[in-house]
A and B are shown apart, each in its own frame.
With several copies, the nearest count.
Chain A
Amino acid sequence: MNKTIYLDHAATTAARPEVVEAMLPYFTEKYGNPSSIYDMGAKNKGVITQARETIADSLGTTPENIYFTAGGTESDNWALIATVEGYAGKGNHIITSSIEHHAVLHTCQYLEKRGFEVTYVDVDENGILRLDQLKAAIRPTTILISVMFANNEIGTIQPIKEIGEIAHEHGILFHTDAVQAYCQLPINVDEYHIDMLSASAHKLNGPKGIGFLYIRKGVKIRSFIHGGAQERKRRAGTENVPGIIGFSKAVEIAQATMKERTEKELALRERLISRIYKEVPYVRLNGDHWNRLPNNVNFSFQFIEGESLLIMLDMAGICASSGSACTSGSLDPSHVLLAIGLPHEIAHGSLRLTLGEDNTEEEIDYVVDKIKEIVEHLRGMSPLYED
């Protein structure tokens, strides 16, 4: 194989050519500021509204509940910080899970410094939230529950509907970080009692630097980024028109192809999982096998360390990761793998492969062969491995 095999779709994806094409006119010709009075600018307001509609449709809601942001991280920060500021009169307690993305976890830590209290509910050995713990954690002062729709490292899908119902019954706001799940799984915000939902375009073949936060009508969330009157006065800053257009185009395509695409990914995923299981000893599949994103595979290979594995895969033309891309530079093992009970040294030897619709069976077979080879080579060097 001479070409690159990209298996890190959970980190980011290529913008589709149709997406870029849709964006292009908004850079150089239709560049007007949507808040302007003249036609060249004001037209872009309409264009943004259309994009909002496309996205609202994908969630079973209406456009006025969609607010564009600069990405999933900003959406998560907004949902948490501005909500607890808005509802501080009601209480100061937040519930989240121990396996959230850092965009939620670090924001919670920031809020703890500001005097808010946070309970981090555990997950079971497959990464599924312990609902009994969640219920037990609820206090009269609880104002927000934030649990991710699906995990970015191990792909585990949470029982969102149940969580939404629990939150709803207790009159507590429910936010979900759906950055990994959006456009991979069907989502209906009303059915699941979701009050706020974060998403990011670059995870679904849209451009980087654009995301949205769904906010149910009636939620008294404050602004997080203060300034001009954009986004119904809730999110200031000149609108990223090309980004918004690109996002909605990506959503349009991703929604239309969801069924077919995820079926294909699922088949590849299962081929990958079963071959690795059969052909490589001392491995562990992390995350729930079936309650899992169709494109996610996460294995721990005992006795070897992740970075070495990744570099050798890269040399074989395979792009993969050990978990979240955003934590590279940190030496700590993944908090997600520790939370599902892996010991340190095994957490260090994990490999995340996330599929996209362009991956082929042939690629998967090549990848499995390479993994076998590399794992064997690295184990030969490992002081922990005695065969």
Chain B
Amino acid sequence: MYSEKVMDHFQNPRNVGEIENPSGVGTVGNAKCGDIMRIYFDIDENQVIRDVKFKTFGCGAAVATSSMATELVKGKTIYEALQVTNKAVMEALDGLPPVKVHCSLLAEEAIHAALWDYCEKQGITIEGLEKPKSDISEEEEEEDY
């Protein structure tokens, strides 16, 4: 059901772990599927993401999107990181099955949550960054007949 890229990132997830005293940390979940994702940023004085780690309690897609999303934002500025959408993550993973699209939203939202936390700590705002939801499950709809 998953692409090779997904399986690769699932089996060998990049950036697993925690960062002590992170510049920003964000935790989001999906009450519906019960999954939880936490992303830690170490951001330098130039607003570049020097390091990023994640912990995920979730399905294969959740693990793989965490891994890919962290790869995509690593070394980027916080403004660039904001552009990393769930679509970009899915594309980088060669796609996800329809029921798993929400898992990639979890990754996008976790990045935003960590950025928000960073901004709050720094007392800055980034244009276009809204206060992230801690539960993304409301956004979804199920196919209905």
Interface residues of A (CB under 8 A from B): 37, 42, 45, 220-222, 232-234, 303-305, 307-308, 311-312, 315, 329, 331-333, 344-345, 347-348, 380-384
**B145 and A233: CB pair below 8 A?**
yes
Closest to A381 in B: B16
Hey, which chain B residues are within 8 Å of A383, CB to CB?
Answer: 27, 36-38, 55-57
Known: A305-B35, A311-B10, A345-B36. 6 other contacts (CB 8 A): A233-B145, A307-B59, A329-B99, A348-B35, A382-B57, A384-B57
Hey, which chain B residues are within 8 Å of A332, CB to CB?
Answer: 32-33
Closest to A332 in B: B32
**A333 and B34: CB pair below 8 A?**
yes
The reply on B11 being an interface residue by CB < 8 A is yes
Point out which of B31, B38, B57, B143 has the most chain A C-beta atoms below 10 A from its C-beta: B57
Whether A307 contacts B60 in the complex (CB less than 8 A), given A220-B145, A333-B34, A383-B36, comes out as yes
Shortest CB–CB separation between residue A183 and chain B, in angstroms? 28
Closest to B16 in A: A381
The size of the chain B interface, using a CB distance under 8 A, is 29
**B58 and A305: CB pair below 8 A?**
yes
Q: What are 28 sample pairs from A and B whose C-beta atoms fall under 8 A apart?
A: A37-B1, A45-B1, A232-B143, A232-B145, A234-B145, A305-B58, A305-B59, A305-B62, A307-B58, A307-B60, A308-B59, A308-B63, A312-B11, A329-B99, A331-B33, A332-B32, A332-B33, A333-B34, A344-B34, A345-B57, A347-B34, A348-B34, A348-B35, A383-B27, A383-B36, A383-B38, A383-B57, A384-B57
Interface residues of B (CB under 8 A from A): 1-2, 7, 10-11, 13, 16, 27, 30-38, 55-60, 62-63, 99, 102, 143, 145
Closest to B18 in A: A383
The 3 closest A-B pairs by CB, nearest first: A331-B33, A383-B55, A307-B59
CA distance A304 to B55 in the complex (A): 11
Closest to A46 in B: B1
**A382 and B56: CB pair below 8 A?**
yes
Shortest CB–CB separation between residue B62 and chain A, in angstroms? 8
CA distance A221 to B11 in the complex (A): 42
CA distance A383 to B56 in the complex (A): 6
CA distance A142 to B52 in the complex (A): 61
Shortest CB–CB separation between residue A330 and chain B, in angstroms? 8
Shortest CB–CB separation between residue A358 and chain B, in angstroms? 27
| A42: contacting residue among B1, B55, B57, B62, CB under 8 A | B1
Shortest CB–CB separation between residue B107 and chain A, in angstroms? 13
Closest to A223 in B: B145
Shortest CB–CB separation between residue A379 and chain B, in angstroms? 9
**B145 and A381: CB pair below 8 A?**
no
Hey, which chain A residues are within 8 Å of B145, CB to CB?
Answer: 220-222, 232-234
Shortest CB–CB separation between residue A315 and chain B, in angstroms? 7
Whether A381 contacts B37 in the complex (CB less than 8 A), given A233-B145, A305-B58, A331-B99, comes out as no
Closest to B31 in A: A344
**A384 and B58: CB pair below 8 A?**
no
**A308 and B58: CB pair below 8 A?**
yes
Hey, which chain A residues are within 8 Å of B58, CB to CB?
Answer: 305, 307-308
Whether A382 contacts B55 in the complex (CB less than 8 A), given A308-B63, A311-B10, A315-B11, comes out as yes
Shortest CB–CB separation between residue A285 and chain B, in angstroms? 21
Shortest CB–CB separation between residue A110 and chain B, in angstroms? 14
